[in-house]
A and B are shown apart, each in its own frame.
Chain A
Amino acid sequence: NAGVTQTPKFQVLKTGQSMTLQCAQDMNHEYMSWYRQDPGMGLRLIHYSVGAGITDQGEVPNGYNVSRSTTEDFPLRLLSAAPSQTSVYFCASSYGFGSQQPQHFGDGTRLSIL
């Protein structure tokens, strides 16, 4: 199993551009989520999904859209990139949610917005 795969690993965008960060998992996990990691801020939850067709907002959802058309994929879309969205983005998945379900993380996508 590849686990959680994120693409691309690095990306540079200009302000106003759009792009999609891809996340795929091959573990048949129901729960998937996106975090951003910023220095001094830790990891903050952007959006999450408890199953195909179901998504919800996390702590910092503004400027980001998600969809979950399949169990395997959970893309994160930036519709109009802003410099404040410069960050490292992590996707995570688990069978369910709670103390028995550790989160499996991807390698991250380092995104710079100029």
Chain B
Amino acid sequence: AQRVTQPEKLLSVFKGAPVELKCNYSYSGSPELFWYVQYSRQRLQLLLRHISRESIKGFTADLNKGETSFHLKKPFAQEEDSAMYYCALSEGNNRLAFGKGNQVVVIP
């Protein structure tokens, strides 16, 4: 069963427009959630983790346990935000479950 759902495969936005990547999870325990990003020709790297409640590169993500969501948001997209974004869930058993990913294309 899919434990992390990212419904949109490809998201195209204009520069300066808001970006929201949806992530829903299925987990009965206390979830630990992350967003990872893979820029072109670079390694997959951590962008955000819910426990830090931080803003990185203008991105924020809030854990909503009632809606089992961890959507990633940025108010004004930049061209350098074009990348593949993965939502990931730590299931507490030394396993990290990834969603299928969102390809974001920022149009100049």
Which A residues have a C-beta under 8 Å from some C-beta of B?
A: 31, 33, 35, 40-45, 48, 50, 56, 58-59, 90, 92, 97-100, 102-103, 105-108
Q: How distant is the Cα of A104 from the Cα of B6 in the complex, in angstroms?
A: 22
Count A/B pairs, Cβ under 8 Å: 55
Smallest CB-CB A-B distances: 3 pairs:
A102-B46, A42-B100, A99-B32
Return the contact of A56 from the options B32, B49, B94, B97 (Cβ within 8 A): B94
Q: How distant is the Cα of A20 from the Cα of B8 in the complex, in angstroms?
A: 35
Which of A44, A97, A106, A108 counts the most B-chain CB atoms under 10 A from its CB? Answer: A97
22 CB contacts below 8 A, A to B, read A31-B94, A33-B96, A35-B98, A41-B100, A42-B6, A42-B98, A42-B101, A43-B44, A43-B98, A45-B96, A48-B94, A59-B95, A90-B44, A92-B44, A97-B90, A97-B94, A97-B96, A99-B90, A100-B51, A103-B36, A105-B44, A105-B45
Taking CB as reference atom, which chain B residue is nearest A96? B94
Q: A6: shortest Cβ distance to chain B, in Å?
A: 10
Residues in B with CB closer than 8 Å to A92 are 44
Taking CB as reference atom, which chain B residue is nearest A107? B43
Residues in B with CB closer than 8 Å to A102 are 34, 46, 49
Q: A63: shortest Cβ distance to chain B, in Å?
A: 19
A31-B94, A48-B95 known; A42+B45 contact, CB < 8 A: no
Q: How distant is the Cα of A54 from the Cα of B106 in the complex, in angstroms?
A: 43
